[in-house]
Chains A and B, each alone.
Chain A
Amino acid sequence: AQKITQTQPGMFVQEKEAVTLDCTYDTSDPSYGLFWYKQPSSGEMIFLIYQGSYDQQNATEGRYSLNFQKARKSANLVISASQLGDSAMYFCAMREGPSGGYNKLIFGAGTRLAVHP
């Protein structure tokens, strides 16, 4: 069965430092997609980054990069140069099946990140 595991309920980091949020997944489908979302206290889910299972390169979007290790079934999010505004809940999610197919996302429990000045 598909599953997403985020083992860090909470993390803190000093401003301007890098932080890695862990995510492992389990699926038997060779085609899948992995997502990271940020949820501030306002509740809105903000899309950060996407990695397809067949993508050769690790995805990057500005200060966000996804460390995709397919054999280990991990998709860790790396935030470089943390900012105070990065304090939020972060969710890892997975979609089984190829792009263009069903859009059902399975979410992990989330990691609460606190950035300290």
Chain B
Amino acid sequence: KAGVTQTPRYLIKTRGQQVTLSCSPISGHRSVSWYQQTPGQGLQFLFEYFSETQRNKGNFPGRFSGRQFSNSRSEMNVSTLELGDSALYLCASSLDSDEQFFGPGTRLTVL
């Protein structure tokens, strides 16, 4: 069974631009969660999607948004990028809540 895949793996953007990250969950998993990891703030929850609906959201500004498609693939969008958005963005998929499997992450650098 294929694991969680994230594309792209690396991304370099400049301030003010926007970016879209993609996550394909493990087949059959309907829950996809997104996390931001930075050296200063650690791992922080962004949001979770389940069956195309956002059912939980962390404390991030509205510049961070996401969506989930009918095949459970999810995208995360960050608009008007800031230097502080440089981070490793991880997505996790889950069948239930007992095990959450993470993808390899997308490392975003904002210049």
Residues of A within 8 A of B (CB): 33, 35, 37, 42-47, 50, 52, 91, 93, 95, 97-110
Please tell me the size bucket of the interface on B. 20 to 34
- Inter-chain CA distance A18–B68, complex, in Å, is 42
Task: Let me know if A107 and B99 touch, CB within 8 A.
Answer: no
Could you list 8 further interchain pairs (A-B, Cβ under 8 angstroms) beyond the known A43-B90, A98-B97, A99-B98? A33-B97, A43-B107, A44-B104, A95-B97, A103-B48, A104-B58, A105-B35, A105-B43
Residues of B within 8 A of A (CB): 31, 33, 35, 42-45, 48, 50, 55-56, 58, 88, 90, 92, 94, 96-105, 107
- Inter-chain CA distance A103–B94, complex, in Å, is 8
- Inter-chain CA distance A103–B25, complex, in Å, is 14
Residues in A neighbouring B43, C-beta threshold 8 A: 91, 93, 105, 107
Residues in A neighbouring B101, C-beta threshold 8 A: 47
The residue that A102 contacts in the complex, of B48, B92, B99, B107, with Cβ under 8 A, is: B48
CB distance from B24 to the nearest CB of A (A): 15
The 8 closest A-B pairs by CB, nearest first: A45-B102, A107-B43, A99-B97, A102-B56, A44-B104, A43-B105, A104-B56, A104-B45
Task: Let me know if A100 and B90 touch, CB within 8 A.
Answer: no
